[in-house]
């Protein structure tokens, strides 16, 4: 995967609304947060537009996003919120300039459309992270994790394993997002590529029978076939019938039933998705996944070569200091001899 340049103080970023409409105070709060990081912030012309459910018409939303994709001064594009609407404009976008000058695309939920499309078609990393709709007025660890990733700082996640998890280890690129959106992309040029990947999924507000349908769609469409690992984030506010037609299965039971014929690790409880704690991760970044009985870990992949290179650099630095020290001693001895002679 291609990594866009990390941000530096003074860089310019943009906020756009590719999906549902958003209130002005949420944008203002986000601008204040980004400016406190030393960034310059602009907003799309239609960021506060309203067209029934959407933040403007399809053409208006697409035009805003296209402008930011093409502007080389913009180093990151922050999507204001999810909901629905990105699917309607994805085919209107031209990524030609973006592929030549990659930049960070940030968001989650409906923005899964962009993450999946960009990763599959252009091999460029993006950031699955909370959006201005959900930013608190005071800093929390979810927004702080986004800041760290944007500025190139490493994040490592450790959290309690759930009893339904399946232990194991995996090293692969982490991709995915909202399950409903992934389901909507099936069979399209934006469909998520899970071959030799770690898949992340999260969901909110769905009926249990439909959740089951979407999980089995992943299985039937081959998304589990060559999967290295499965990470399940927040699955919240789910619904079930209260009568004889109740589905009577938990999300964990549904998932484990669908993946029972595969041996990859399954990690429940990763704190990302539609909940107050929504930790950011780089979509397409190679990670280590470790699922143990008590704890689970997700952190950037560290190869043996990387460790060796660090050790080599450390050794070279030590040798350089020794050489410098040796010549300093020679110089001091020489100076003393000259002073004694004269």
Catalytic residue among 125, 173, 202, 228: 202
- Per DSSP, helices labelled H in 18-159 are 24-36, 58-70, 86-89, 96-100, 112-122, 141-150
Report how far residue 13's alpha carbon sits from residue 76's, in angstroms, rounded to the nearest whole number.
Answer: 5
Return the half-sphere exposure (C-beta side, CA atoms, 13 A cut-off) of residue 239.
Answer: 6
Please check whether residue 14 is in contact with residue 43, taking contact to mean a CB–CB distance below 8 angstroms. yes
Report how far residue 297's alpha carbon sits from residue 262's, in angstroms, rounded to the nearest whole number.
Answer: 21
Q: Is 109 a catalytic residue?
A: yes
**CA 8 remoteness from chain centre:** 19
* Burial track 306-334 (b if 16+ CB lie within 10 A, e otherwise): eeeeeeeeeeeeeeeeeeeeeeeeeeeee
Report how far residue 326's alpha carbon sits from residue 319's, in angstroms, rounded to the nearest whole number.
Answer: 11
Report how far residue 91's alpha carbon sits from residue 27's, in angstroms, rounded to the nearest whole number.
Answer: 26
Q: Is 296 a catalytic residue?
A: no
Please check whether residue 272 is in contact with residue 236, taking contact to mean a CB–CB distance below 8 angstroms. no
Catalytic residue among 115, 128, 234, 274: 274
Q: Which residues neighbour 331 within 8 Å (Cβ) at sequence distance 6 or greater?
A: none
Catalytic residue among 17, 109, 142, 190: 109
Q: Is 274 a catalytic residue?
A: yes
Q: In terms of Cα–Cα distance, which of 89, 90, 83 is closest to 26?
A: 83
Q: In terms of Cα–Cα distance, which of 294, 286, 272 is closest to 165?
A: 294
Task: Give the catalytic positions in this structure.
Answer: 109, 202, 274
């Amino acid at each position: 995967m291609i990594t866009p340049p990390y941000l530096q103080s003074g860089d310019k970023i943009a906020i756009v609304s590719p999906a549902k409409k958003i209130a002005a105070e949420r944008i203002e709060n986000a601008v204040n947060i980004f400016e406190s990081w030393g960034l310059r912030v602009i907003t799309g012309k239609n960021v506060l537009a309203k067209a029934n459910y959407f933040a403007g018409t399809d053409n208006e939303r697409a035009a805003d996003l296209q402008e930011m994709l093409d502007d080389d001064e913009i180093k990151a594009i922050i999507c204001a919120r999810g909901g629905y609407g990105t699917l309607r404009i994805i085919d209107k976008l031209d990524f030609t300039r973006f592929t030549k000058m990659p930049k960070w695309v940030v968001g989650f939920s409906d923005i899964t459309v962009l993450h999946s499309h960009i990763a599959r078609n252009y091999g460029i990393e993006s950031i699955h992270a909370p959006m201005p709709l959900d930013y608190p007025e005071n800093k929390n660890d979810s927004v702080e994790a986004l800041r760290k990733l944007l500025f190139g700082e490493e994040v490592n996640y450790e959290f309690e394993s759930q009893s339904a998890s399946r232990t194991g280890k995996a090293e692969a690129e982490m991709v995915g997002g909202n399950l409903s959106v992934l389901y909507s992309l099936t069979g399209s040029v934006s469909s998520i590529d899970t071959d030799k990947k770690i898949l992340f999924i999260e969901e909110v507000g769905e009926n249990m029978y439909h959740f089951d349908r979407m999980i089995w769609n992943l299985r039937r469409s081959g998304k589990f076939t060559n999967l290295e690992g499965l990470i399940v984030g927040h699955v919240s506010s789910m619904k079930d019938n209260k009568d004889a037609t109740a589905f009577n299965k938990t999300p964990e039971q549904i998932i484990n039933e669908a993946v029972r014929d595969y041996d990859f690790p399954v990690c429940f409880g990763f704190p990302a998705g539609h909940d107050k704690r929504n930790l950011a991760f780089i979509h397409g970044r190679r990670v280590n996944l470790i699922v143990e009985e008590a704890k689970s870990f997700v952190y950037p992949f560290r190869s043996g070569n990387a460790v060796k290179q660090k050790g080599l650099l450390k050794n070279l630095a030590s040798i350089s200091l020794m050489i410098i020290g040796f010549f300093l001693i020679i110089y001091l001895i020489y100076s003393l001899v000259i002073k004694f002679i004269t």
